[in-house]
Amino acid sequence: MRVLPGFVLSFLLISSVEPHRFHLPNAGGKYLTKNEQWLDQTVDHFSPTDHPQFKQRFYEFIDYYQVGGPIFLKICGESTCPGIPNDYTAVLAKKFGAALVSLEHRYYGKSSPFDDLTTHNLRYLSSKQALFDLAVFRQYYQESINVKYNLSQAENPWFVFGVSYSGALSAWFRLKFPHLTCGSLASSAVVLAVYNFTEFDKQIGESAGPECKAALQEITELVERRLQSDRGSVKALFGASQLKNDVDFLYLLADAAVIAFQYGNPDVLCSPLLDAKATGKSLVEVYASYVKDYYFGTFGSSVKSYDLQHLKNTTVSNESGDRLWWFQVCSEVAYFQVAPSNDSIRSSRIDTKYHLDLCKNVFGEVMYPDVDMTNLYYGGTKIAGTRIVFTNGSQDPWRHASRQISSPDLPSYIIKCHNCGHGTDLRGCPQSPLSIEGNAENCTAPDAVHKVRQQVINHIDLWLSQCKDTGPDDDEPDMFLASRRMISSE
């Protein structure tokens, strides 16, 4: 998943759209607020001597807030953060009488510490710095809401939320700063850094089912063959002539199939392919129509995201997210979506070396994602935090980088249905077009979504109420009463 900075489509705003980034469909203009506020943030939290600052963007929405109630921090991940969308987190905020706040991730959107994104300037782009940003913001905002309500030293109960990479940040925030939040929702949270992420392709095969999978494999073979004989025409057929490197092109083709399953539209892809098989139409041509109409059209991805020239561009723009996320991939988390050695859907030319070469090419120096250090720092699937609720969608290829097992302190739920993908608990299905408030009526098993949502609500309710008893500071004013029960029961 390349997951996200924003471009406007006529009816849908997608924040960044390739599957090697987790591209999450965006809110399409339905925001509770887009009113930017700014925080002076430290560029390097780990330097003992040097403390330059940059401006980091955040948003607040307090219409649902009942004084003394909880503060919900919705973590923004690897994309521009244009505001606070009126999504399912907002539904929860209303239910709990919570203030909603959201901080843009450093470097993305308008929160870049540097004017130029050279490799050297990206040295402060990491999840570790981002978590520290969240901690600083949490303290800053607590003070500012105290001032607003003329309270001193008050501590509201906080809860953090995130999906995908920001879901991992949500879990990691609770792990590393347990005194700053009562709990965390980690939706489709990729907490395990994986070097050769072959399970990703395998899950696509399982989500597709045997016939659609076989059709996709046949397409890969046919395209590979045509790349040998007539490279130019097959790229042109997909509108991707600008990609000089054949494997970049094959990567685009793999991603295009992934998003159908990742975001809950399997039939948009598989129905026409199975029909082509049955009626003898050209599979490659039918796939090319899908890529152009759906992946580039409806979904809003672009060929550019796969173009090395674009990834090398160091100018700060609304399209910098591709480069920034690759930097995090190449340095910290990998998730290299390499072809499994057997029964792969994607081309076997998409291998480990392809990814390492891309990193070297784009950033101009040898980079090696130190996944062992990342997992050592956070614990991977053995994360030893408490009060974190994990959710996964059954069809989502990313779920294999999420937590595997459930325990009382770290409950984990899987939502099973034909179109349950990435972040389904918060976003519903399908996610393109997205029903911004996360309506689940078009999930093939709405009850599966409702059940997990109810569990999530129960955990939030319980953990907010327990927060005061176990909080670090017994002298706090008794501000937690409002959070002991939800404001409304549905």
Ligand X SMILES: *[C@@H]1O[C@H](CO)[C@@H](O)[C@H](O)[C@H]1NC(C)=O
Using CB under 6 A as the binding rule, whether residue 399 contacts ligand X is answered as yes
For residue 164, indicate whether it is catalytic: yes
For residue 396, indicate whether it is catalytic: yes
Q: Which of 52, 106, 55 is nearest to 79 (CA)?
A: 106
Q: Which of 20, 23, 105, 422 is catalytic?
A: 422
- Backbone φ and ψ for 164, nearest 5 degrees, come out as 70, -125
Using CB under 6 A as the binding rule, whether residue 459 contacts ligand X is answered as no
- CB within 8 A of 243, min separation 6: which ones? 235, 249, 252, 303, 306, 307
Using CB under 6 A as the binding rule, whether residue 86 contacts ligand X is answered as no
Using CB under 6 A as the binding rule, whether residue 315 contacts ligand X is answered as yes
Give the 3-state secondary structure of residue 69: coil
C-alpha to C-alpha distances, 363 to 174, 447, 451, nearest whole angstrom: 32, 46, 45
Site track for ligand X across 270-309, x = CB under 6 A: ---------------------------------------x
Q: What is the C-alpha to C-alpha distance for residues 260 and 50, in angstroms, rounded to an integer?
A: 46
Q: What is the C-alpha to C-alpha distance for residues 101 and 83, in angstroms, rounded to an integer?
A: 10
Using CB under 6 A as the binding rule, whether residue 361 contacts ligand X is answered as no
Choices 136-144, 250-258, 291-299, 439-447 (CB under 6 A): range interacting with ligand X: 439-447
Residue with the CB atom nearest ligand X in the bound state: 7
Q: Which of 4, 387, 12 is nearest to 186 (CA)?
A: 387
**Applying CB under 6 A, which of residues 319, 322, 332, 425 lies at the interface with ligand X?**
319
Using CB under 6 A as the binding rule, whether residue 381 contacts ligand X is answered as no
For residue 422, indicate whether it is catalytic: yes
Buried b (16+ CB within 10 A) or exposed e, 284-308: bebbbebbeebbbebbbbbbebbbe
**Smallest separation (angstroms) from ligand X to the CB of 233:** 26
Closest to ligand X by CB, 241 vs 439, is 439
Closest to ligand X by CB, 283 vs 449, is 449
**Helix (H), strand (E) at residue 38:** strand 37-42
Q: Which of 79, 164, 207, 402 is catalytic?
A: 164
User: Beta strand 31-33 with 84-85: parallel, antiparallel or unpaired?
Assistant: antiparallel
Residues 3-62 that bind ligand X (CB under 6 A): 6-8
Catalytic center residues? 164, 396, 422
Q: Report the interface residues with ligand X, using CB under 6 A.
A: 6-8, 150, 195-196, 309, 313, 315, 317-319, 342-343, 352, 392, 399-400, 402, 404, 406, 412-414, 435, 439, 441-442
